[in-house]
Amino acid sequence: MYKLLLLPVLLCFAVFTATAQQPAGVKKDTTNYSNKPVDTVKPYVNVGKIAGRRAAIRSAMLPGLGQIRNGVTVYRLAKVGGIYTGFTLLALSYIDNSKNFNTFQNEIEYRAKNNDKPDPASLYASYPTSGLISAKDIYRRNKQVIILSFAGLYLLNIVEAYIDARLANFDVGDVASFKVAPTVMPPAQMYGFNAITPGVKLTLNF
């Protein structure tokens, strides 16, 4: 009898106990499972290209400045001196050709206004008009060539500064090397004697 009454009591107690229990809170895992590799390699920077661009811009602003900023050496100073010597000679040549062009142009205009009569005060009064026109055209072409030469020398100055900067930052020590050393050539018999010939040995390593 007591056993039959005890069984329902135990079942009710088990039900109330299960209802009263709260689910345990799930703790969030804060562990970082990121397996992405960390890139510690620095990006490649072409130092020679940057230096070449800067040298070209400087030489474009002022001819010779790029060469000087690449490093003051006797060789670079000689190049800068050559650049300005070229500009000076071209300027003097342009002035001379302009002067002669204006002289012939004035003589031709004087004759055009005076029925083809030469200017008595001109040094070219005895020259025919056709000859004066030919001379004027020659000096005009000379002026055009000099202007193109100015532009060519200016561009050459920029290109040379760029190449000089690139080569100054180009290291071939680990790529190629050469060694020069004295040596003795293989002996060759001449008249029964072994002739020893000195020489130079060049060794290239790639």
Contact 116, 131 (CB under 8 A): no
Query: Locate tokens 């020590």: which residue?
Result: 173
Predicted local confidence at residue 60, as pLDDT: 95
pTM of the model: 0.62
The pLDDT > 90 percentage for the chain reads 44
Predicted local confidence at residue 192, as pLDDT: 55
Of residues 102 and 167, the one with the higher pLDDT is 102
Predicted local confidence at residue 96, as pLDDT: 97
pLDDT of 173 > 60? The answer is no
> For the chain, what's the residue count?
206
| Residue 64: other Cβ atoms inside 10 A | 21
Predicted local confidence at residue 137, as pLDDT: 95
Grouping H, G, I as helix, E, B as strand and the rest as coil, residue 181 is strand
Contact 95, 142 (CB under 8 A): no
Contact 51, 166 (CB under 8 A): yes
Query: Locate tokens 């109330």: which residue?
Result: 16
Query: Locate tokens 């080569």: which residue?
Result: 167
Mean local confidence (pLDDT), 95-103 = 96
Please write the tens of the pLDDT for every residue from 60-98.
999 999 999 888 899 999 999 999 999 999 999 999 999
pLDDT of 15 > 90? The answer is no
Please write the tens of the pLDDT for every residue from 176-205.
555 666 776 666 555 555 556 666 676 766
Please write the tens of the pLDDT for every residue from 31-66.
555 555 655 666 767 788 888 899 999 999 999 999
Predicted local confidence at residue 180, as pLDDT: 64
Predicted local confidence at residue 148, as pLDDT: 97
Q: Where are the domains of the chain?
A: 47-183
Predicted local confidence at residue 191, as pLDDT: 53
Predicted local confidence at residue 139, as pLDDT: 96
